[in-house]
């Protein structure tokens, strides 16, 4: 029994990592209507920028804010320079563009900062949280930040003009243009916000997994899985999905005899697919009615 | 089909032995195989410069820089070294393509230090059939020491299995009643170590080894595995992990205020890239074993060998991160090849390269621990086969005990 | 067509008119002559590279049937490739089956595997299908490593495969023989695929790709054709995998990671989605562009690769078939002047 609660707590702790990344995935999905395979690498690069600033002596919170701003700008620039010119190309060509971006960012980071792992500071400390050694104050802080981000995103998409306009631009571009929304800039704004959220995710994840150019490879897979499970259109679903994936993966690894530990990721993914077969839009996603 | 292959290999070994018998008189006149001339020696190399294992690309870059240094100081016996290194992205099919390119298109004398067990397994048969030396491969699998079946393949570093055996022997002696948990990476590296540990424990493995927990490199953290291991309450945790996961393990165990005896694999014993990120406090009393010096360890600051290494890095790899243990590894491996090619003299045939590589006697590189020596023979294709145990104290490793020859413990 | 519908029917592959699926008669003959003659003037190493080029072209073609033909997206092709490769390797090394015979077996096993996988995939489309196939690709190397299968698969160490000699004492090197052997199989698969897409079944698949609801309204058995497309694509990929195992002489879990699936996907995009001859161009991209990238810079080979890819998709967002269309257009102009 103790093992069960421990694994659930540990699952929540790792689930916070996935939830954080899943939020960034949902953000970009809301803006461009598909997944960005380079998102993890963008977050990794942002985290390296923060690390570099701190190496130069910038205090944590200033480095944090500067990274946020730089990442936002970087996201907008990438959209303007790379993906706007491809606006009329097929979606699969965009996906190839994401893969190209992935390769470029990973390789440049490797050359600039090499592959040795780096310690990344945490503003929350890493002592046990409320006496539980399984969740550190950093992980608790991470869950807190994730929830705050979730609230902000929820209000942004539900109640602000820009947020509503962005959703309109992503789901019904033509109609959005007709009511005077600059859809092209909405996409760029979405890229910027997704990059900024990604940078927060990166800076929160790095203290746990250590900073290096390949740190987001695994995280992104789980982030996608979490976002898809929760429903790609729902920030709330993404966070729930993140925790569910974290917990389920741990339980599968611990309790499924024989192959559980060796195959815990495949088992977790298989479960997600089973959920999708029953609920094709994820647990909390909006069902889209098809029109012919 | 297989029997023809075996016959062929048998014929090669006979040829090598026959050559060895007459080798002495041949030294005087110049003899060359493809890849060597009066002015040049061509060396091929394969590294994962891109893809998931790109961290190791630094080894190839270091070796390239090393031979640049050799050329700047006059080359080897008056010949310049041309070092041709290709990227296989850690993919075995790509490694085969690159090995064939090196042999058939660039026409190198030998393939030196290709990295990774899967890639080397993929090219071993081809290189042996072509009678091209596959020298000092950059992997610790045991199978490279097999001169009878693969007379053209030779390892370099101590094998993973023998290191695992050393830890097992240590535990049998120091903590015979210990309950051991092993966390290992689910690939050739992890499984080889695990086998070494089990072999070393022998009959006691059944009682002492209480958990074998594997993780995948694609996992972001190994935290949940640590939680699971803790619930089994072992006294000893052996972590057969690559640097990132080793640091996570040490850090997580400390966060859980858990104090088992910890052993980390040699590949993850770097102070700069594992112990420091994990936190010195958390890393106290961790055990490991090593055969080389750690560039980030203060105790070697005034060591003549490491000073030479530092001067090399300053001049030829000025932008490199010195705490990267791959810089030391590449330097040591390249220095071993340098020695072999020097010993070849003017007889730069592939057979003589293998013969000289198999005649290293008490050779040491600038980067090996004092007392660790490279010895090879016609029946011993494992150049470095000894390690010394060490304990992390303060901010450096304290070596203790004798230099343990893995040969003695093997099999 | 409303924008909403565009979103729903993910993987909006452009409709490919039937006559554009394959090359014209003269062009086909020219390419074939080149493919037959080239090895006579090349070194063994180049012949080996060309063999790998053909093998990956078969795998890209298989993905093209799935995505270009039936509109289903897959990031899991490496799994089918791996099953094919291991089937061939295990049959050859453990059961001494002739290498040529292992290929149809690999094809049939992969067809069954793909068909079964296609069943749950029926309910998924777009990013969801991408995730499902991606899961398959990440699971495969882990399955191959499992201790339970180690006796057959060789576990993490993999299996070494013996390379076949030319039969009947033909005076050609192993490499050249394997090249022509691969070429014959590639041609067979290509002809089969072109005919498949032109047949009733192919038209049904393309109808599903263009508009699933309309297709089902017209009486197309959507479920049957979608799973069939998965099966056929997997079967062909399996044959490519088997050939790959024979050519490389080695199979190991590390050979068939998600990287391979991504490479095959890029090959399809670069060649042109839905245009079968483009598979050759796409496969050339997979085999040769990484080599170009590393010759430019070792430290930045990934970045150079990415940059080349971006240039290609900027200039040719529709892949190599854009070149084919344009040149055909100009030739027609010249003729009709």
Task: Check B52 against A217: CB less than 8 A apart.
Answer: yes
Taking the C-alpha atoms of residue A28 and residue C4, their distance in angstroms, rounded to an integer, is 18
Structure token pair of residue B378? 């016609």
First CA to last CA distance, chain C:
37
Structure token pair of residue A9? 């707590």
Tell me how long chain C is. 337
Q: Tell me the pLDDT tens digit for each residue of C218-229.
A: 888 888 888 999
Select from C112, C212, C93 the least CA-distant residue to C163: C93
Residue in C45, C160, C305 nearest the CB of B100:
C45
Residue with tokens 């979608």: C226
Q: Is the distance from CB of B253 to CB of B226 less than 8 angstroms?
A: yes
Evaluate if residue C265 carries a pLDDT over 70: yes
Stretch 13-42 of chain C: residues touching chain A, C-beta under 8 Å: 13-14
User: Do B127 and B215 sit in the same domain of this protein?
Assistant: no
Taking the C-alpha atoms of residue B266 and residue B243, their distance in angstroms, rounded to an integer, is 10
Pairing, β C250-251 against β C159-160: antiparallel
Q: Please report whether residue B247 resides in a domain.
A: yes
Helices (H), B74-159: 92-100, 117-130
Q: Please report whether residue B295 resides in a domain.
A: no
Share of residues in chain C with pLDDT > 90 (%)? 38
Angstrom distances, CA of residue C207 to CA of A70, B362, C61: 46, 74, 19
Give the per-residue pLDDT at B114.
95
Q: Between C19 and B116, whose confidence is greater?
A: B116
Interchain contact A214–C (C-beta under 8 A): no
* Chains sharing 3 or more CB pairs under 8 A with chain A: B, C
Select from A280, A14, A7 the least CA-distant residue to A143: A14
Give the per-residue pLDDT at B297.
86
Residue with tokens 């998709």: C313
Cβ-Cβ contacts under 8 Å, B48 against chain A: none
Q: Is the distance from CB of C118 to CB of C136 less than 8 angstroms?
A: no
Q: Provide the shortest C-alpha distance from residue A114 to chain C (in Å).
A: 10
Cβ-Cβ contacts under 8 Å, B232 against chain A: none
Burial class (CB in 10 A: 0-12, 13-18, 19+), C144: buried
Q: Tell me the pLDDT tens digit for each residue of C136-162.
A: 898 888 888 887 788 888 888 888 888
Helices (H), B256-377: 276-278, 280-283, 304-316, 325-344, 350-357
Q: Provide the shortest C-alpha distance from residue B62 to chain A (in Å).
A: 14
Task: Check A35 against C3: CB less than 8 A apart.
Answer: no
Select from C76, C128, C11 the least CA-distant residue to C264: C76
DSSP assigned state of C164: P
Q: What is the residue-wise DSSP string for A187-230? A: HHHHHHHHHHHHHHHHHHHHHHH-B-TTTHHHHHHHHHHHHHHH
Q: What angle do CA A259, C262, C56 make, to 5 degrees?
A: 105
Taking the C-alpha atoms of residue A40 and residue A24, their distance in angstroms, rounded to an integer, is 9
Cβ-Cβ contacts under 8 Å, A107 against chain B: 50, 54
User: Do B72 and B186 sit in the same domain of this protein?
Assistant: no
Average pLDDT by consecutive 10-residue portion of chain A (292 residues)? 80 88 88 85 96 95 96 94 86 90 93 89 81 79 91 88 84 82 87 93 92 88 88 88 90 76 78 80 70 48
Q: Tell me the pLDDT tens digit for each residue of C49-72.
A: 999 999 999 999 999 999 988 888
Beta bridge partners of B85: B45
Taking the C-alpha atoms of residue C307 and residue C305, their distance in angstroms, rounded to an integer, is 5
DSSP assigned state of B182: E
Q: Provide the shortest C-alpha distance from residue B373 to chain C (in Å).
A: 29
The contacts of residue A159 (CB under 8 Å, 6+ apart) are none
* Chains sharing 3 or more CB pairs under 8 A with chain C: A, B
Give the per-residue pLDDT at B5.
53
Task: Check C142 against B186: CB less than 8 A apart.
Answer: yes
Taking the C-alpha atoms of residue B371 and residue B374, their distance in angstroms, rounded to an integer, is 10
Stretch 22-61 of chain A: residues touching chain C, C-beta under 8 Å: 29, 33-35
User: Do B78 and B195 sit in the same domain of this protein?
Assistant: no
Q: What is the residue-wise DSSP string for A147-177? A: HHHHHHHHHHHHH-HHHHHHHHHHH-HHHHH
Task: Check A272 against C131: CB less than 8 A apart.
Answer: yes
Give the per-residue pLDDT at B1.
44
Angstrom distances, CA of residue C248 to CA of B2, C11, C121: 17, 33, 32
Q: Is the distance from CB of A249 to CB of A11 less than 8 angstroms?
A: yes
User: Do B179 and B117 sit in the same domain of this protein?
Assistant: no
Q: Is the distance from CB of B98 to CB of B87 less than 8 angstroms?
A: yes
Give the per-residue pLDDT at B18.
47
Taking the C-alpha atoms of residue B149 and residue B128, their distance in angstroms, rounded to an integer, is 9
Give the per-residue pLDDT at A292.
46
Question: How many CA atoms does the CB half-sphere of B179 hold within 13 Å?
Answer: 10
Interchain contact C116–A (C-beta under 8 A): no
Taking the C-alpha atoms of residue B112 and residue B350, their distance in angstroms, rounded to an integer, is 12
Taking the C-alpha atoms of residue A147 and residue A240, their distance in angstroms, rounded to an integer, is 10
User: Do B67 and B139 sit in the same domain of this protein?
Assistant: yes
Instruction: Read off the pTM.
Output: 0.88
Q: Tell me the pLDDT tens digit for each residue of A199-233.
A: 999 999 999 899 999 898 888 888 888 988 888 88
Taking the C-alpha atoms of residue A197 and residue A223, their distance in angstroms, rounded to an integer, is 13
Structural domain of B217: 161-290+388-409
ipTM for the complex? 0.88
For domain A2-278, say whether CATH 1.10.3470 is its number: yes
Give the per-residue pLDDT at A269.
80
Residue in A100, A174, A266 nearest the CB of C142:
A266
Taking the C-alpha atoms of residue A142 and residue A204, their distance in angstroms, rounded to an integer, is 6
Per-residue pLDDT of chain B (411 residues; tens, 9 = 90+): 445 555 555 555 554 454 444 444 444 578 889 889 999 999 999 999 888 788 888 999 999 999 999 999 999 998 999 999 999 988 999 999 999 999 999 999 999 999 999 999 999 999 999 999 999 999 988 889 999 999 999 999 999 998 999 999 999 999 998 999 999 998 888 999 999 999 999 888 889 999 999 898 888 888 888 988 988 899 999 999 999 999 999 999 998 889 999 999 999 998 988 999 999 999 999 999 999 998 888 889 899 999 999 999 999 999 888 888 899 999 999 999 999 999 999 999 999 999 999 999 999 999 999 989 999 999 989 999 889 999 999 988 999 988 888 654 444
Residue B221: how many CB atoms within 10 A of its CB? 24
* Chains sharing 3 or more CB pairs under 8 A with chain B: A, C
Interchain contact B21–C (C-beta under 8 A): no
Q: Is the distance from CB of A225 to CB of C127 less than 8 angstroms?
A: no
Give the per-residue pLDDT at C337.
63
SS3 state at C151: helix
Residue in A29, A86, A106 nearest the CB of C313:
A86
Taking the C-alpha atoms of residue B229 and residue B212, their distance in angstroms, rounded to an integer, is 9
Residue C250 phi/psi, 5° resolution?
Answer: -160, 135
Residue spans of the domains in chain C: they are 42-256
Under the banding of pLDDT at 50, 70 and 90, the label for residue C6 is: very low
Residue B138: how many CB atoms within 10 A of its CB? 26
Q: Is the distance from CB of C58 to CB of C243 less than 8 angstroms?
A: yes
Q: Evaluate the CA torsion angle B82, B83, B87, B90 in order and state its sign.
A: positive
Give the per-residue pLDDT at B132.
95
Burial class (CB in 10 A: 0-12, 13-18, 19+), C315: exposed
Helices (H), B131-259: 160-174, 188-201, 205-208, 223-232, 243-255
Chain A and chain B share a number of CB contacts under 8 A equal to 104
Task: Check B277 against A210: CB less than 8 A apart.
Answer: yes
Task: Check C294 against B60: CB less than 8 A apart.
Answer: no
Give the domain CATH number at B367: 3.40.50.2300
Summarize chain A as % helix, strand, coil (round to 5): 75, 5, 25
Q: Please report whether residue B298 resides in a domain.
A: no
Q: Is the distance from CB of B19 to CB of B77 less than 8 angstroms?
A: no
Residue C17: how many CB atoms within 10 A of its CB? 9
Taking the C-alpha atoms of residue C57 and residue C62, their distance in angstroms, rounded to an integer, is 9
Q: Is the distance from CB of C327 to CB of C334 less than 8 angstroms?
A: no
Task: Check B228 against A119: CB less than 8 A apart.
Answer: no
Select from A287, A277, A197, A177 the least CA-distant residue to A233: A287
Beta bridge partners of B288: B390
From the candidates C248, C260, C289, which should be mutated to test the interface with B, based on the most B CB atoms within 10 A?
Answer: C248
DSSP assigned state of A118: B
B231-249 per-residue burial string, b: 16 or more CB within 10 A, e: under 16:
eeebbbbbbbbbbbbbbbb
Average pLDDT over residues C3-7: 34
Angstrom distances, CA of residue B166 to CA of A18, B162, B182, B385: 39, 6, 15, 11
User: Do B66 and B210 sit in the same domain of this protein?
Assistant: no
Residue in C45, C156, C165 nearest the CB of B187:
C156
Q: In what order do the strands lie in the sheet with B261-264?
A: B209-215, B180-185, B236-240, B261-264, B287-290, B386-393, B396-405
Pairing, β C159-160 against β B80-87: unpaired
How many domains is chain B partitioned into structurally? 2
Residue spans of the domains in chain A: they are 2-278
Angstrom distances, CA of residue B289 to CA of B372, B388, B392: 12, 5, 11
Nearest CA in chain B to C303: B50
Give the per-residue pLDDT at B357.
94
Angstrom distances, CA of residue C5 to CA of A176, A178, C2, C226: 15, 18, 5, 20
Cα C7 → chain centroid: 27
Task: Check A107 against C120: CB less than 8 A apart.
Answer: no
């Amino acid at each position: 029994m103790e093992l069960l609660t421990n694994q659930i707590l540990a699952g929540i702790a790792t689930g916070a990592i996935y939830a954080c990344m899943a939020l960034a995935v949902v953000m970009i999905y809301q803006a461009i209507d598909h997944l960005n395979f380079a998102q993890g690498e963008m977050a990794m690069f942002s985290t390296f920028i923060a690390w570099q600033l701190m190496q130069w002596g910038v205090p944590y919170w200033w480095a944090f804010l500067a990274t946020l701003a730089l990442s936002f700008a970087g996201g907008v620039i990438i959209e303007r320079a790379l993906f706007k010119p491809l606006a009329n190309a097929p979606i699969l060509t965009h996906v190839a563009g994401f893969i190209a971006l992935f390769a470029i960012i990973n390789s440049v980071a490797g050359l600039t900062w090499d592959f040795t792992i780096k310690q990344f500071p945490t503003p929350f400390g890493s002592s046990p949280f409320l006496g539980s050694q399984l969740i550190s104050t950093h992980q608790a802080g991470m869950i807190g930040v994730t929830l705050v981000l979730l609230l902000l995103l929820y209000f942004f998409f539900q109640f602000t003009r820009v947020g509503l306009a962005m959703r309109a631009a992503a789901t019904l571009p033509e109609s959005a243009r007709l009511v005077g929304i600059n859809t092209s800039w909405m996409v760029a704004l979405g890229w910027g916000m997704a990059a900024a959220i990604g940078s927060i995710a990166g800076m929160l994840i790095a203290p746990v997994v250590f900073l290096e150019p390949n740190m987001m490879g695994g995280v992104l897979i789980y982030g996608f899985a979490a976002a898809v499970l929760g429903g790609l259109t729902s920030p709330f679903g993404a966070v729930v999905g993140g925790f569910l994936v974290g917990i389920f993966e741990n339980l599968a690894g611990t309790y499924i005899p024989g192959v559980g530990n060796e195959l815990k990721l495949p088992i977790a993914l298989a479960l997600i697919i089973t959920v999708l077969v029953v609920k094709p839009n994820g647990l909390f996603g909006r069902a889209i009615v098809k029109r012919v | 089909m297989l029997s023809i292959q075996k016959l062929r290999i048998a014929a090669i070994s006979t040829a090598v032995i026959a050559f060895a018998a007459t080798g002495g008189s041949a030294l005087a006149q110049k003899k060359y195989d493809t890849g060597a001339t009066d002015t040049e020696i061509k060396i091929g190399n394969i590294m994962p410069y891109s893809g998931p294992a790109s961290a190791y690309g630094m080894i190839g870059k270091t070796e390239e820089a090393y031979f640049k240094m050799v050329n700047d100081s006059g080359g080897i016996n008056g010949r310049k070294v041309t070092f041709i290194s290709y990227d296989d992205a850690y993919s075995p099919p790509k490694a085969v393509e690159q090995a064939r390119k090196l042999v058939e298109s660039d026409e190198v004398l030998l393939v030196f230090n290709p990295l990774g067990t899967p890639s080397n397994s993929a090219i071993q048969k081809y290189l042996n059939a072509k009678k091209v030396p596959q020298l000092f491969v950059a992997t610790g699998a045991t199978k490279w020491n097999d001169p009878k079946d693969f007379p053209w393949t030779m390892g370099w570093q101590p094998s993973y299995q023998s290191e695992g055996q050393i830890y097992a022997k240590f535990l049998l002696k120091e903590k015979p009643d210990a309950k051991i948990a092993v966390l290992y990476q689910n690939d050739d590296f992890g499984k080889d170590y695990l086998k070494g540990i089990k072999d070393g424990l022998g009959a006691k493995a059944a009682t002492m080894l209480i958990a074998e927990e594997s993780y995948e490199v694609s996992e972001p953290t190994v935290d949940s595995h640590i939680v699971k291991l803790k619930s089994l309450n072992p006294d000893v945790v052996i972590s057969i992990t690559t640097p990132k996961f080793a640091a996570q393990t040490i850090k997580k165990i400390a966060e859980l205020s858990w104090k088992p005896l910890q052993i980390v694999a040699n590949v993850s014993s770097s102070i700069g890239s594992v112990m420091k990120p994990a936190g010195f406090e958390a890393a106290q009393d961790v055990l490991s074993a090593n055969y080389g010096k750690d560039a980030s360890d203060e105790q070697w600051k005034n060591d003549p060998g490491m000073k030479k290494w530092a001067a090399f890095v300053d001049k030829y790899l000025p932008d490199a991160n010195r705490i990267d243990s791959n810089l030391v590894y590449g330097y040591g491996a390249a220095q071993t090849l340098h020695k072999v090619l020097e010993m070849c003299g003017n007889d730069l045939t592939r057979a003589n390269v293998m013969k000289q590589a198999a005649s290293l006697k008490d050779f040491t590189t600038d980067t090996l621990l004092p007392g660790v020596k490279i010895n090879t023979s016609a029946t011993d294709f494992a150049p470095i086969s000894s390690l010394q145990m060490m304990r992390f104290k303060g901010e450096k490793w304290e070596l203790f005990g004798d230099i343990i020859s893995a040969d003695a413990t093997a099999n | 067509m409303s924008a909403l519908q565009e979103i729903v029917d993910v993987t909006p592959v452009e409709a490919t008119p039937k006559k554009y699926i394959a090359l014209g008669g003269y062009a086909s003959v020219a390419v074939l002559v080149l493919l037959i003659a080239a090895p006579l003037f090349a070194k063994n190493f180049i012949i080996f590279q060309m063999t790998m080029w053909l093998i990956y072209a078969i795998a890209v073609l298989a993905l093209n049937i799935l995505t270009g033909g039936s509109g289903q997206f897959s990031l899991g092709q490496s799994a089918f490739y791996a099953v094919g490769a291991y089937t061939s390797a295990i049959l050859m090394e453990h059961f001494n089956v002739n290498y040529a015979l292992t290929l149809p077996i690999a094809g049939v096993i992969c067809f069954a595997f793909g068909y079964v996988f296609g069943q749950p995939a029926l309910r998924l489309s777009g990013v969801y299908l991408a995730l499902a196939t991606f899961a398959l690709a990440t699971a495969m190397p882990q399955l191959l490593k499992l201790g339970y299968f180690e006796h057959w698969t060789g576990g993490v160490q993999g299996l070494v495969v013996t390379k076949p000699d030319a039969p009947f004492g033909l005076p050609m090197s192993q490499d050249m023989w394997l090249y022509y052997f691969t070429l014959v199989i590639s041609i067979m698969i290509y002809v089969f695929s072109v005919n498949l897409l032109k047949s009733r079944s192919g038209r049904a698949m393309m109808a599903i790709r263009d508009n699933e609801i309309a297709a089902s309204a017209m009486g197309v058995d959507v479920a049957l054709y979608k799973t069939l497309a998965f099966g056929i694509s997997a079967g062909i990929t399996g044959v490519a995998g088997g050939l790959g195992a024979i050519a490389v002489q080695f199979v190991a879990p590390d050979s068939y990671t998600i990287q391979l699936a991504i490479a095959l996907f890029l090959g399809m995009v670069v060649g042109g989605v839905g245009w079968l001859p483009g598979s050759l161009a796409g496969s050339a991209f997979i085999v040769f562009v990484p080599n170009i990238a590393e010759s430019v810079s070792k430290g930045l080979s990934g970045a150079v690769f990415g940059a080349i890819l971006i240039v290609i998709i900027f200039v040719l967002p529709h892949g190599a078939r854009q070149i084919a269309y344009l040149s055909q257009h100009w030739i027609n102009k010249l003729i009709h002047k």
